[in-house]
Amino acid sequence: MFGLFKKKTEKKTEILSHADYNLIFDNKTVEGIPVELLEIGNLKVPTGKIVVCDPLVTPDMKPLKREVKTGEYPIKIYVAKTENSGDRYAIAKLEFNKNRAVKWILAVRDGEDVNELTEKGDFFGFPVDAGLGGFFDIKAGIEYLKFQDDFMKANPNGNIYDDLFAVEFKKNAKDQNDPNDYGDWINYKLPKSELNITMFHSGYGDGMYPAFWGIDENGEVTSLVIDFFVLLLPEDDK
């Protein structure tokens, strides 16, 4: 009798990362690769709704479903100093507090159902086609879209990266005198606004990348990270 009825498959409520990013945050060397911390300033979060995307390609992406407390939070980049490929941005972290995460939950948007992820290693993420990732509040994203539209109307034959952001990136180049050092990040304050958006290089470039919420022992959000698949790769990808 007990074998007549199969137990219903329980629906998943979350997907955990394959990696514990504390290994990167806590160590100066990971998998034999030196890791350097780069702090790029704070992000203003007036609504608590965070967008994670390639800002030059998909700035109109939906915000993540989970909301955070409004405030102003530091962004930290963990740079892998690889032997063969130079400096690579491995993890971008938006840090809400100093609490230690005990698990990392896949960040999703409205309409994304983790039960659709049936294969090991599947994830929802964001596409990168300009070699960049970024964090910003949805309110800043709306302002940025207006700013972008106004820029293109004023410069119908222009390119917002070449004509504007390239100069901003160059300001953050390590070697201002090196013509080949174009800079790897910006924390850009939108004109006529107190809001800002961030852009930074994405690991090895274009692709699809996930974000994860860091959750502390009390079940509270402590951080949001983007994994650019440079360090602590899944076993199948090594």
Q: What DSSP designation does 70 have? A: S
Task: State pLDDT tens for residues 24-61.
Answer: 999 999 999 999 999 999 999 999 999 999 999 999 99
Which band of pLDDT confidence, cut at 50, 70 and 90, is reported for residue 236?
Answer: low
pLDDT at residue 5 in the model: 42
- Per domain, the residue ranges of the chain are 22-232
pLDDT at residue 90 in the model: 98
pLDDT at residue 154 in the model: 95
pLDDT at residue 9 in the model: 57
Cα of 27 vs its chain's centroid, Å = 20
Look up residue 216 and give its two tokens.
Answer: 């502390």
pLDDT at residue 79 in the model: 98
The secondary structure element, H or E, covering residue 213 is strand 211-215
Question: Rounded to the nearest 5°, which phi and psi values hold at 3?
Answer: -95, 5
pTM: 0.93
pLDDT at 81 over 60: yes
Task: State pLDDT tens for residues 101-112.
Answer: 999 999 999 999
**Distance between CA atoms of 39 and 22, rounded to whole angstroms?**
17
pLDDT at 3 over 50: no
Which band of pLDDT confidence, cut at 50, 70 and 90, is reported for residue 1?
Answer: very low
